[in-house]
A = this chain, B = another copy of it.
Amino acid sequence: MEQIQRFSAAELEKFTAGVLEKVGLSASDASHVAQLMITADLRGVDGHGIFRLPQYVQRIRAGGINVRPKIRVLEDRLSTAIVDGDNGMGHLVMSRAAEVAIEKADRTGIAWVGVRMSNHAGFGALYAEMPLARNMIGLYMAVASANHMPPWGGVEKILGTNPLTIAIPAGEEPPVVLDMATTVVAYGKVKTYKLARKTMPVGWMIDRRGEPITDPNRSDEGFLLPIGGYKGSGLAIAIGMLAGLLNGALFGRECIDFNADDSSVTNTGHAIVALKVSHFCPVENFKLQVDAAIREIRNSERMEGVDRIWLPGEKEYACLLDRRANGIPMNPNLRRTLNDLAASLGADPLPDK
Contacts and interface: CB of A to CB of B under 8 A. Distances in A.
A111 interface: yes
* Stoichiometry, copies per complex: 2
A279 B80 CA distance: 7
Interface magnitude class on chain A: 35 or more
A303 B78 contact: no
Q: Please provide the 7 A-B residue pairs with the shortest distance between their CB atoms, ordered closest to farther.
A: A227-B228, A234-B312, A80-B109, A156-B300, A153-B306, A166-B238, A178-B234
The majority secondary structure among interface residues of chain A is mixed
Given A235-B178, A246-B286, A303-B154, A293 B209 contact: no
Given A228-B228, A230-B310, A296-B253, A281 B248 contact: yes
Contacts of A152: 309-310
Interface string A200-235: 000000001110000000000000000111111011
A300 B150 contact: yes
Nearest to A164: B235
A159 to B, nearest CB: 8
Given A158-B297, A178-B235, A280-B82, A245 B110 contact: no
Most buried by B among A241, A253, A277, A286: A241
A79 B234 CA distance: 28
Interface of A: 75, 77-80, 82, 108-112, 114, 137, 150-156, 158-159, 164, 166, 168, 176, 178, 180, 184, 208-210, 227-232, 234-235, 237-238, 240-242, 245-248, 251-253, 275-277, 279-281, 286, 289-290, 293, 296-297, 300-304, 306, 308-312
Contacts of A300: 150-151, 154, 156, 158, 253
